[in-house]
Structure 1
């Protein structure tokens, strides 16, 4: 009985080998195809764990309502006037806060051994990194859309209409894509997702609040005003305000795009190098 079973197993193994040998090897996936596949992986993670969308839906609404109705009357004299000023800035803040999770997600994959499995695949090496950030860009767009829609419900009306709102949203998403590489470096350097989250928010919080998101820099003390005016987040908020008001500020737009490109140019290769060595 045992000999018969062994003979059957050997025959089956030989049949499988013949089938594999006679089948053409599938083509190796290209860089774009691999990156898009990993981007879709990020979307599937949200599908199976919808709670991941809380930070891009509930948190932006909370910030918008809290700052508008708590500080609007004291700062601008009325909530409607303050909403007109602060909504483009809150759009920037809400989306930029979401970029921290790019590093958290990468660190989680690294600590759980998922990255080691990706390295064993015959794919373009940076595909998991690029694909993950492409998937995160969808989250950035969702967060920005939530802020704009809630703002419109509260009474905000961009002078440039839908086109201006979409242009501002696209500007923030592009900037966030560049900034995400910074947090990916943190995700590869630090030991745990909690450490990445703490370090990320320790960096993004001061830069966001020391900007023109909430108040006009002209009302600030001299040294603080000088810092706020050169803060990249202030420049990005100014670019978004100009796009939504229908009077594009070319300097602010170009500087924001240049900062995004510079962040990607510096931290993308660094992330790739760390990814290969970890």
Structure 2
């Protein structure tokens, strides 16, 4: 039995409403495909759940015991948890990059481009799936934090605002990951991981930039991750070592500016690169 589907009307000849519906439909189809792949990989789900537990045990109990915070009257894990939230968001670049690089290498992207579907829908679908996965990762990390004594103190509205800032940074990192995944071959993706981890360390994720050498402290304060982590610490009501520099005093503003700037740069680059694939 052969089923013949009617051809889709070319994008150029569709109305604005029809184009929007086409993009939404393709976005949902691509996002559903990526989410199904994620669900059917038990190892990936296990690693997403275990990462928060291992991170808290290592940084909160092993290294954290060496950090003297008794004079401040607070536990180091109060300072640590927002940093772990931010680190998990930035490390998501590697997840997006690997998925896009593998799809490109296996010809999946070429297959999509040969079909009558919106290129915007494909990229938006990928970003939507990654945002949903990141939402689950952050939620699991929050539950683990509550289990070890971390808490927020300024109301549920501030929690939602902090969650929004984390997803805003993750959205920017998605487009960076998509662009790199379209450029880098799968066998070279490990290089990116070796760069991502130090970048998350050169921030106020685990310690204050004021405790670092001056040049390293300046880099850490201007790290986009530091802005988001500093902002959500304030929204959660968690303690932190605030600096005297302009960027440290305006972390909430920079937590919005940095992701928007990264998105403005890498979104068009990713779309252009995808459309130019041979």
For residues 10-40 of structure 1, the C-alpha deviation after alignment (integer angstroms, 9 at most, x for no partner) is xx99xx88xx7xx897877521221122112
Residue 215, structure 1, aligned to residue 207, structure 2: yes
Residue 112, structure 1, aligned to residue 112, structure 2: no
Given candidates 184, 195, 215, the residue that maps to 2:188 is 195
Gaps in structure 2 of 5+ consecutive residues: 10-17, 240-247
Cα distance change of structure 1 residues 199 and 243 upon mapping to structure 2, 3 Å threshold? same
Residue 232, structure 1, aligned to residue 224, structure 2: yes
1:147-226 aligned within 5 A: 147-192=141-186, 194-196=187-189, 198-226=190-218
How far the C-alpha of 1:210 sits from its partner, in A, is 1.0
**Which residue number corresponds to residue 244 of structure 2?**
none
How far the C-alpha of 1:140 sits from its partner, in A, is 0.8
Cα distance change of structure 1 residues 263 and 25 upon mapping to structure 2, 3 Å threshold? closer
**Which residue number corresponds to residue 77 of structure 2?**
83
Provide the alpha-carbon RMSD of the alignment.
Answer: 2.7
For residues 226-273 of structure 1, the C-alpha deviation after alignment (integer angstroms, 9 at most, x for no partner) is 2211111111110110111189x9932221221111111111111111
Cα distance change of structure 1 residues 275 and 157 upon mapping to structure 2, 3 Å threshold? same
Are the aligned partners of 1:171 and 1:240 in contact in 2 as well (CA < 8 Å)?
A: yes
SS in 2 for 1:126: helix
Are the aligned partners of 1:38 and 1:127 in contact in 2 as well (CA < 8 Å)?
A: yes
Cα distance change of structure 1 residues 176 and 24 upon mapping to structure 2, 3 Å threshold? closer
SS in 2 for 1:155: coil
For residues 183-205 of structure 1, the C-alpha deviation after alignment (integer angstroms, 9 at most, x for no partner) is 2122111222x412x23222321
Residue 69, structure 1, aligned to residue 61, structure 2: yes
1:7-22 aligned within 5 A: none
Runs of 4+ in structure 1 displaced over 6 angstroms? 23-28
**Which residue number corresponds to residue 255 of structure 2?**
256
- 2: CA distance between counterparts of 1:93 and 1:277? 32
Point out the structure with max Rg over C-alpha.
1
1:14-93 aligned within 5 A: 29-77=21-69, 81-93=75-87
Are the aligned partners of 1:148 and 1:165 in contact in 2 as well (CA < 8 Å)?
A: no
Cα distance change of structure 1 residues 55 and 171 upon mapping to structure 2, 3 Å threshold? farther
Between Structure 1 and Structure 2, how many residues are aligned? Answer: 258
Farther off after superposition, 159-168 or 223-232: 159-168
For residues 108-132 of structure 1, the C-alpha deviation after alignment (integer angstroms, 9 at most, x for no partner) is 1111111121112212112111101
- 2: CA distance between counterparts of 1:80 and 1:250? 22
Are the aligned partners of 1:100 and 1:201 in contact in 2 as well (CA < 8 Å)?
A: yes
Cα distance change of structure 1 residues 203 and 25 upon mapping to structure 2, 3 Å threshold? closer
Pick the structure with more helix per residue.
Answer: 1
- 1: CA distance between counterparts of 2:8 and 2:132? 34
Cα distance change of structure 1 residues 128 and 24 upon mapping to structure 2, 3 Å threshold? closer
Are the aligned partners of 2:8 and 2:116 in contact in 1 as well (CA < 8 Å)?
A: no
Gaps in structure 1 of 5+ consecutive residues: 1-11
